[in-house]
Amino acid sequence: MKQQYSLSHRMQGMSGNVVREILKLTQAPDIISFAGGLPSPDSFPVDELRSITAELFAQDVGFLQYGVTEGLPGLREFAARWVGDFNIQAKPENVLVLSGSQQGIDLACKALINPGDVILVEQPTYLAALQIFKTYEANVVAVAGDEAGMLPDALADAIHKYKPRLVYVIPTFQNPSGICWSLERRQALSQAAAEHDFIILEDDPYGRLRYSGAPVPAIAGVDGLRRSIYLGSFSKVIAPGLRVGYAVAPPELLQPMIIGKQGTDVHTSNLSQQIIMRYAQKGGFEQHLPRVRAQYGEKCRLMLEMLEKTFPAGSTWTKPQGGLFLWVTLDEGVSTTALLEQAIAAKVAFIPGTPFSASGGCTNCMRLNFSNASPADIEIGIERIAQVIKQSLA
C-alpha cells in the first residue's frame, strides 16, 4: 500500500507533463513517433562539440567552479548581439542565461505572479507553460486566434474583462501549431501592453528555424524592451541536452528573475555555457543553421504532402514557415485522445490537442512533430494515422 503524504495546495491536482508521459509509451523501437518536440539527433554538431569540449579540458578548468547567476559575460554579450537579428536592441546587462528557456517561464512567474493573477494565452498554447502557470496558481485564460495570431477583438475583450498581469505568447512558429504572428498583430499586442499595463512574456525557441517566408521582428523588438520579457534557446539549434537558454528584458524585470534563479539552481552549467560560447566564437552557427533549416524544411514539406495525400476530406492543418510542428484539426466529434490508443496499437504516435488548451478545447486536434522522424518514417507514419482516422469514421 502506497504511503499518503500531505502536499502543498499548489501541487494538489497537478499531473505530469502529457508529452513526457506519452513518450514513455512510444519508446518501443517499432513505433514511429511524431509526439515529442525533439530535434533530430542527425542535426547535432557532434564532432564540433567533442572538439570544443576537449579543448576546454585541456586548458584552465575554472569553469568547473561555481559561477555567477547572470551567466558567463562572453555568452551574455553574444546573446545580446544575436537577438539583434530580431530587431531587439539589447546590452549584456539585459541578458540572463537560463537552464533551458523554459526556466524563464518559471522565473517570470516567480517574479510577477500572485495567486489569482490572470495570464492570457493563445488557444492552443505550450502545455508545459500551462503546467507552470497552474503551479503558481494563476488564472489562465485562452484567447482565440487564427494563423496570424491572437484575434484583435478577442484580445481586446479579454484585456477589458480580465485585466491581465501577463500575456504569454509564442509568436514565431508556435508550439503546438507552427503559426507565425503577423507584424500587425505583434504591434497591436505591444500597444495594448503599454495602454493596459501588463507584461508580454514572449517565448521564442524556434525563431532561427525559418524555412520559407519573410522574417518578422520579435514583439520585444517592436516593443523596444519596455514591457517585454523575451525568451530564447540554444536547444533547438545545437542540442537540447546542454540545457542553455536566455532571457532578455529590462533590468527592472530581469533583476527579480536573477534573484529567483539564485534560489533555484544558483547558475546554469558553466560547462554548457562554455561549449556554446566557444561554438559561437568559432562561427559554428553560420555553418550549422543552414544545414538544419534545409533538413527540417524538407521534412516539413514531406509531411504536408503526405497529409494532403492521405488524410480524409474535412481535415485541415497549418502550413508552417518554420519550427518543429504542425497542427491538424479533424471533423468535430472526433476525439484525438481516443484515437491515440488506436494509433499506438498501429505503431504510430502523436499528441492530442486537449493538453494544449487552457479551456479544455481542441478535442479534435493533434500536434505532429516533423523534425525527429526520418523521411521514410514520415511517409509510413502519416499513412498509419490516416488509416486510424478513417477506421474511426467508418
CB 365 within 8 A of CB 336: yes
Report residue 26's pLDDT band, with 50, 70 and 90 as the boundaries: low
- Out of 18-22, 55-59, 228-232, which region has the weakest mean confidence (pLDDT)? 18-22
pLDDT of residue 3: 66
For the cut 60, the answer to whether the pLDDT of residue 14 exceeds it is: no
pLDDT of residue 29: 77
pLDDT of residue 260: 98
Cis peptide leading into residue 124 (ω within 30°)? yes
For the cut 90, the answer to whether the pLDDT of residue 223 exceeds it is: yes
For the cut 90, the answer to whether the pLDDT of residue 11 exceeds it is: no
Distance in angstroms (rounded) separating the CA atoms of residues 302 and 296: 10
For the cut 60, the answer to whether the pLDDT of residue 79 exceeds it is: yes
pLDDT of residue 299: 98
pLDDT in tens, 142-176: 999 999 999 999 999 999 999 999 999 999 999 99
Q: Average pLDDT for residues 281-304, to the nearest whole number?
A: 97
CB 186 within 8 A of CB 217: yes
Residue type, 126: Y
pLDDT of residue 15: 57
pLDDT of residue 145: 97
Buried b / exposed e along 292-314 (16+ C-beta atoms within 10 A): bbebbbebbebbbebbeebbeee
CB 347 within 8 A of CB 31: yes
Q: DSSP letters along 43-92, please? A: GS-HHHHHHHHHHHHHS--GGGS---TT--HHHHHHHHHHGGGGT----G
All three cell numbers of 167: 500575456
Q: What residues form DSSP beta bridges with 139?
A: 118
Going by their DSSP bridges, the two strands 365-369 and 351-352 should be labelled as antiparallel
pLDDT of residue 394: 74
How far apart are the two ends of the chain, measured CA to CA in Å? Answer: 44
Residue type, 293: R
Backbone angles phi, psi at 389, to 5 degrees: -65, -45
- Give the DSSP H/E element, type plus range, for residue 367: strand 365-369
pLDDT of residue 179: 98
Phi/psi class of residue 335: alpha, beta or left (left: φ > 0; alpha: ψ in -120 to 50)? beta
Mean pLDDT (the chain) is 94
For the cut 90, the answer to whether the pLDDT of residue 129 exceeds it is: yes
Query: Which one-letter DSSP state was computed for residue 7?
Result: -
The architecture that CATH gives domain 65-282 is 3-Layer(aba) Sandwich (3.40)
- The ranges assigned to domains in the chain are 9-44+286-393, 65-282
The architecture that CATH gives domain 9-44+286-393 is Alpha-Beta Complex (3.90)
Q: Average pLDDT for residues 109-117, to the nearest whole number?
A: 98
Nearest Cα neighbor of 324 from 168, 210, 171 is: 210
For the cut 70, the answer to whether the pLDDT of residue 10 exceeds it is: no
- Which residues, 6 or more positions from 383, have their beta carbon under 8 angstroms from its beta carbon? 306, 310
Report residue 6's pLDDT band, with 50, 70 and 90 as the boundaries: low
